[in-house]
Structure 1
Amino acid sequence: MEKESIASIIQKQRELFESNRTKDVKFRLEQLNTLKKVIKKNEAAMYMAVYSDFAKSEFDTFMTELSMVYHEINLALKYLKEWCKPRKVASSLLHFPAKSYIYPEPLGTALVIGAWNYPLQLCLVPAISALAAGNTVILKPGEQSAESSRILAAMINSNFPDDYFHVIEGAADVSSQLLNHRFDKIFFTGSTTVGRIIYKAAAEHLTPVTLELGGKSPAFVFRDANIRLTAKRLVWAKFLNAGQTCVAPDYILVEKSVEGVLLEAIKSEIKRYYKECSLTENYTQIINDRHFERLSKLIDSGDVYCGGTRKAEIRFISPTVMYNVSFDDEVMKEEIFGPVLPVIAFEDIDVAIKAVKDRPKPLSAYVYTNNRKIVKKLIKEVSFGGGAINDSVMHLSNSNLPFGGVGLSGIGSYHGKTGFDTFSHFKSIYRNSFRFEPPLKYPPYTKAKLRLIRFLMR
């Protein structure tokens, strides 16, 4: 896309926003209903696009992508009027007879940059939040999932005016062009490396950002856990989307006494659900050759307990478990983002916690145990974006739980009401009356007045 075209669309979106049309709640509800109908109409085409990018089944695509998209739209349609209402807050006696309110208002023109690994969900869910909050939106999908990007552009650009909601496709050069312009909000999902670039560009315009990044998310397994069920849940969470999930368990920290039992249980679960040498409707491809080669090198760098089968011609890597792993190994130096699961044994919980804390704060963390003291200790001592006890990944599906990272794993959060809040400014309004005016704040300033102010401001 030409630079002039990008500038023109941004300007048109800014003009529409300044007209106040998008601030009307009725208008927002109409647009969300239209979007829901458009998605429903194009559902089959979206399944085909995701299959082309990942060889991903319709079931898997609905479960991990469209189900969350529909849920977010339905939630906004149901509660938007309530979310938009001014909220009265308490005032102290010092402010009598005034009253205080908080008014949510949209920020303006938002740029949403999606990610390739869940190309529908990670584009549409933040866009829904932005539209619900009353913003205009430019959406830039991840270019690596090319067919999914194309279907998003086709269905949105043919059903919405470009001054309101528009998809701009392209690679890194297009993102750079977009970032040269001033937006009122930037929402980015992707790697920490690119997140730094986004943050730096946004700083030039003092644009607020939400960064949904990643990191090495640990799963702690203790000897009192139900090992069979733990293995089942970990295998599902790790190998969902062939491990290309930002909140997937990146590695396991298991108590030494149950390491062997857990490894065998994981191996058994993998055999139950996945085929060693071929793609099935339960499994997906690696997104491209570059990531396939990167993951292959990680597998070759250590000891493989099970899996490790690769077929370059279809970008297939079987669910792989690595053992005899240390924090100094190659597989522990970066987020894996693929179907490779390292297992590290520990004997001292404090040593394990320190190893996690010595590294960047993860996006997620998971704890498998029935010991409440251990759960309390880990939640208190380890900083991470969000997580689960005796499960993995499922916290993402509860829209009442804000989703986001901390530190290098992200800035800000979204989903449900939190998504609406992320794309809103909350305007503080102090409303006084002409009926009464206390003399307290006016001269002459006396010790008696000061004592009274101290009392009222306690």
Structure 2
Amino acid sequence: MTLTNHPQSPSEEFDVAAVAAQLQKVFAGGRTRNADWRIRQIEGIERFLDQREPEIVSALADDLGRSGTEAWFADVALVKAEATYARKRVRRWMRRRPQPLPLNQLPAVGWVQYEPLGVVLIIGPWNYPVHLALIPLVAALAAGNVAVVKPSEVAPATSALLSYWLPRYVDPEAIVVIEGDAQVTQDLLSQGLDQVLFTGGTEIGRRILEGAAPHLTPVLLELGGKSPVVVASDADLEVVARRVAWTKLFNSGQTCLAPDYVLAERSIHDELVRLIADTVTQFRADQRGRGLRIVNERQFDRLAGSLADTSGRIVFGGGSDRETLTIDPTVIADPDPDDVVMREEIFGPILPVLAVDSIDEAIAFVNARPKPLAAYYFTSSRTVARKLVNAISSGGAVVNHAAVHAMVPQLPFGGVGDSGMGAYHGKWGFQAFSHRKSVLVKSFKPDLKVIYPPYTARSVKTLRRLF
């Protein structure tokens, strides 16, 4: 897909400082505080997804080699579900929340009310360039903010699509799409905006924090990490194989929530490896080639290098083709813990499967590493599931599936430690892009004199009873 009737060099077309000033002016005008305005913007996003689905699918095929079904599911259906959920609840979320007060503050009334922050910057990644730009945008608009969306230059067709079409469905004075490279991102950060949401890798996340720090701009980071799968010996291995293979192969494994490695109890390790390999073969029976498309040469070379250098046994797959930028779905058995596939987030269709002697060993293995964005536990035992959920710190956790918690707008989605800070989705996104203002309203009478100096023994005694 090629779009030629819109700016292709946004760093030349946009004066970043002027854009920021204009957005601040729009926000100061107050129209975004109105519930009707917020709802209209979210409805516009829903119409964009409905009416431009063919263009979205085409752009994702160009950028990522994504199938039409995967493109619809991840970047259309899930985004629309989030938008619809928020649209129906915006008025409810906006209501002030009365709070009970202590006796020493009566008579009075207190509440919490949500205020929009102002100008929000959403920095999208290349792997889900519609999903991870628009779901944060829905949250920002539900909260009454104006926004700059900065898509990833690594997904140029989708970036162009968003730049051209999105402003035609929303208020173009309040929602601006700016294309460009890392320098454009730093230029935007230097404007002293009111909130930033970045989705991407941990190292880039650190640079975003550095860019935001001079202005004390709050940052919500959705990063990555090595999300583990722990499989107990009592799990239904056929179901495990299907669910792990599906989430691992989706988008060629280029998913921040994809299972990164599997820790299986030793008694089931070999059988699970076989079932995963068989399942991958079944899932790809209708595909012409074996390989899965990787986004660019840099990512391909990184993945191919990890296959060449691994200390583990490649028991399935292992092939690659640089000309087509494809990597075969690969299962690696028992790589060393310090192997490259165990040190770095894989972000591709490569799955290490390691044997452990106990659930306790699996817990210790995961906890010895940086906190992951998610963790997935497969077991028939509620006791074991509860133990794993409580013992391992992760951004999110799923029992007997993988990644599907991110499809639930009622649950906050976010990381912890190296995998991110802050969370959004549903009302949690509304709150993330809002300021929670405390309001206390007092009357002129009664006016307790005991609180004012000079303090007497009697007034101090009264104060000690009140506080």
Which residue of structure 1 aligns with residue 181 of structure 2? 171
Query: What does residue 16 of structure 1 align with?
Result: 26
The percentage of counterpart residues that share the same residue type is: 38
Match of 1:113 in 2: 123
Mapping of 1:44-123 within 5 angstroms?
A: 44-123=54-133
Q: Does 1:287 align with 2:295?
A: yes
Judged with a 3 Å threshold, the aligned counterparts in structure 2 of structure 1 residues 455 and 391 are, in CA distance, closer, same or farther, namely farther
**Shift, 1:377, TM fit:** 2.1
| Contact 2:292–2:329 (Cα < 8 Å) also in 1 | no
Paired with 2:450 and 2:388, the residues of 1 have a C-alpha distance of 50
For residues 55-454 of structure 1, the aligned pairs below 5 Å read: 55-160=65-170, 162-275=172-285, 278-279=288-289, 285-302=293-310, 303-443=313-453, 445-446=455-456, 449-450=459-460, 452-454=462-464
Mapped contact 1:56–1:284 kept (Cα < 8 A): no
Cα distance per residue 1:75-97 (max 9 Å; x no partner): 12100001111110110111100
When residues 276 and 71 of structure 1 are mapped into structure 2, their CA distance, relative to the original with a 3 A threshold, is: closer
- Following superposition, the deviation at residue 226 of structure 1 comes to 0.8
Letter in 2 for 1:107: L
Number of residue pairs the alignment of both structures matches = 455
Kindly provide the amino acid, as one letter, of the partner of residue 209 in structure 1. V
CA 1:269–1:4 in structure 2 vs 1: closer, same or farther (change >3 Å)?
Answer: closer
SS for the counterpart of 1:207 is coil
**When the two structures are superposed, what TM-score results if normalisation uses the length of structure 2?**
0.93
Deviations 1:154-179, CA, capped at 9 Å, x for gaps = 10234445431011111112112212
Take 1:453 and 1:346, find their aligned partners in 2: how far apart are those partners? Answer: 61
Structure-2 change in CA distance of 1:370 and 1:433 (3 Å): same
The 8 Å contact of residues 292 and 349 in structure 2, kept in 1 or not, is answered as: no
What residue ranges of structure 1 are gaps of 5+ in the alignment?
Answer: none
Residues 1:75 and 1:276: Cα distance change in structure 2 (over 3 Å)? closer
Counterpart-to-counterpart distance in 2, 1:27 and 1:267: 51
**Aligned counterparts of 1:109 and 1:3: Cα–Cα separation in 2:** 20
Shift in Å, 1:228: 1.0
Shift of 1:279: 4.9
Letter in structure 2 aligned against 1:294? R
Measured after TM superposition, the shift of residue 43 of structure 1 is 1.6
Q: Alpha-carbon deviation of 1:376?
A: 2.2
User: The residue matched to 2:344 in structure 1 has which SS?
Assistant: coil
CA shift, 1:352, in A, is 2.5
Contact 2:192 2:217 in 1 (8 A): yes
Greater mean deviation of Cα atoms: 226-235 or 161-170: 161-170
Q: Secondary structure at the match of 1:314?
A: coil
Kindly state the Cα deviation for residue 348 of structure 1 after the two structures are TM-superposed: 3.4
Shift of the 368–245 alpha-carbon distance from structure 1 to 2, 3 Å rule, reads same
Q: Which moved more, 1:188-197 or 1:356-365?
A: 356-365
Inter-partner Cα distance in structure 1 for 2:423 and 2:461:
43
Residues 185-214 of structure 1 show CA distances to partners (whole Å, capped at 9, x for unaligned) of 000000000000001111110011100000
Instruction: State which drifts further: 89-98 or 309-318.
Output: 309-318
Give a deviation string over 1:360-380, Cα, whole Å, max 9, x none: 110010111122332222222
Higher alpha-carbon deviation: 37-46 or 124-133:
37-46
Q: CA deviation at 1:277?
A: 7.5
Kindly report which structure 2 residues correspond to 1:36-51, keeping only aligned pairs within 5 A, or say none: 36-51=46-61
Structure 2 CA distance, aligned partners of 1:133 and 1:67? 22
Q: Distance in 1 between matches of 2:439 and 2:107?
A: 14
1:443, 1:251 → 2: CA distance? 66
**Secondary structure of the corresponding residue to residue 304 of structure 1:** strand
Q: 2:223–2:415: 8 Å Cα contact kept in structure 1?
A: yes
Deviation larger for 347-356 or 394-403: 347-356
* Structure 2 unmatched runs, 5+: 1-10
TM-fit CA distance, 1:231: 1.0
Q: Is the 8 A contact 2:47 2:169 kept in 1?
A: no
